[in-house]
Structure 1
Amino acid sequence: MDESIASLASAIGSRVKQERQARRWTLDQLAEAAGVSRRMIINVEQATMNPSVGTLLRISDALGVGLPDLVQSPESKAVKVIRKGEGAVLWSSESGGRGVLVAGTEPPEVVELWDWILGPGDKHASEPHTPGTKELLQVQEGTVAVTAADQTVALEAGDSITFPGDVAHSYANNTTEPARFSLAVFERGVGSPHREAGNE
């Protein structure tokens, strides 16, 4: 792991441990609630690995916090500024692609703002998020193929799409040129009893 990835992994690990201990949960209890192995929770808390976005979403959902809360320093300020280059890189590829969480709001209505670059041939597949999740995407450069709800749409620069994030979906660059898009993810009722009951 390079220094920035190691630093992010350490921050995430500390935050997960802090949230787990605040609930007086054991490693096994969090693992069961998140649907991941105990070893995975240990690895995340000890920052010995760089977990996937899907794993982080499962853990954040189980803890009842938004993904932004796991990757950003807790601040009580009404205005939060994240400077260029300070976002959390949560996905990367060998061809130069990356998914950067650049901003987010706190529960219960969580909105995540992402900056994505897909290198030539890159594809990022995502598991269904919690019920009611919505995604909004706009292509800034290149061509992006978005697949959701068994439908694939090719989008050019300037095109946008809204789709349910609670179904399996993916973003792909099937061209030989890089592509870039902005993505907003909206999750309702994070950490609320209504949402937890709906996830059982």
Structure 2
Amino acid sequence: MVHYMGTGTATETLTRTVGGRVRAARQRLSWTLDQLAAAAGVSRRMLVNVEQGVVNPSIGTLLRLSDALGVGLPALVEPPREESVLARVTVHGDGAALWTGEHGGRGVLVAGTQPPDVVELWDWSLGPGDQHDSDAHAPGTRELLQVQRGAVTITVADDLHLLGTGDAIEFAGDVPHSYANPGEVPARISLAVFEPGVRAILPHHQTPEEPSHD
């Protein structure tokens, strides 16, 4: 089952922002809609809907688009950054909520670095029975996860690992994997994702500018 970003005004704003950034990055590469759709492995209709800000794309779709564009996921979803500063704070509640579970869970991207070696920091909550299934990420992707509360089952390809509060795991993110809450109480995890060489295909690509309003 595909899980999309949540609903509400904040999500609508994020959806429009993502659409504008995808369009700006595509135009900077002088790619047509068909070229980006083929490079990302998504349908042309989905890409049109994303650029128009009328659909809440799944995390998988966002990752395929960001990888194809060579920008990394944070560049599509994070608030504007001041390049001159040495540090940037994400205030609690300002992270990009990109996934909602059927039982109250949320996946929030709270911070991330720029290409070529992209690191993402996530705050995940999983309600009892929630599960997030992830396709294989780009080659070389690694993930670090620690359970902050409750119990979580991590499946990496065919390997299953049950983690309790305080347990941690490091695993390959370039194979299919999932996070699930098998318990009867909410669970929470901190997740770091390392995706190396995002610009390997597009070495001269620049970070997308803020979307225009035309």
TM-score > 0.5 by shorter chain: yes
Q: CA deviation at 1:194?
A: 8.9
Partner of 2:12: 6
Matched, 1:42 2:48: yes
SS of aligned partner of 1:131: coil
Question: Identity of paired residues, percent?
Answer: 60
Partner of 2:34: 28
* Alpha-carbon RMSD: 1.3
SS of aligned partner of 1:117: strand
Q: CA deviation at 1:90?
A: 0.3
Q: CA deviation at 1:70?
A: 0.4
Partner of 1:155: 163
Partner of 2:123: 115
Equivalent position amino acid for 1:97 in 2: G
Q: CA deviation at 1:103?
A: 0.2
Equivalent position amino acid for 2:111 in 1: A
Segments of structure 1 that go 5 or more residues without pairing to the other structure are 196-200
Q: CA deviation at 1:93?
A: 1.7
Contact 2:101–2:131 (Cα < 8 Å) also in 1: no
Partner of 2:74: 68
Of the three residues 3, 7, 24, the one matched with 1:18 is 24
Equivalent pairs, count: 195
Q: CA deviation at 1:74?
A: 3.8
> Hey, which bits of structure 1, 4+ residues long, moved more than 3 A?
none
Partner of 1:171: 179
TM-score normalized by structure 1?
A: 0.95
Partner of 1:98: 106
Segments of structure 2 that go 5 or more residues without pairing to the other structure are 1-6, 204-214
Taking CA–CA contacts closer than 8 Å with sequence separation of 6 or more, which of the two structures ends up with the larger relative contact order?
Answer: 2
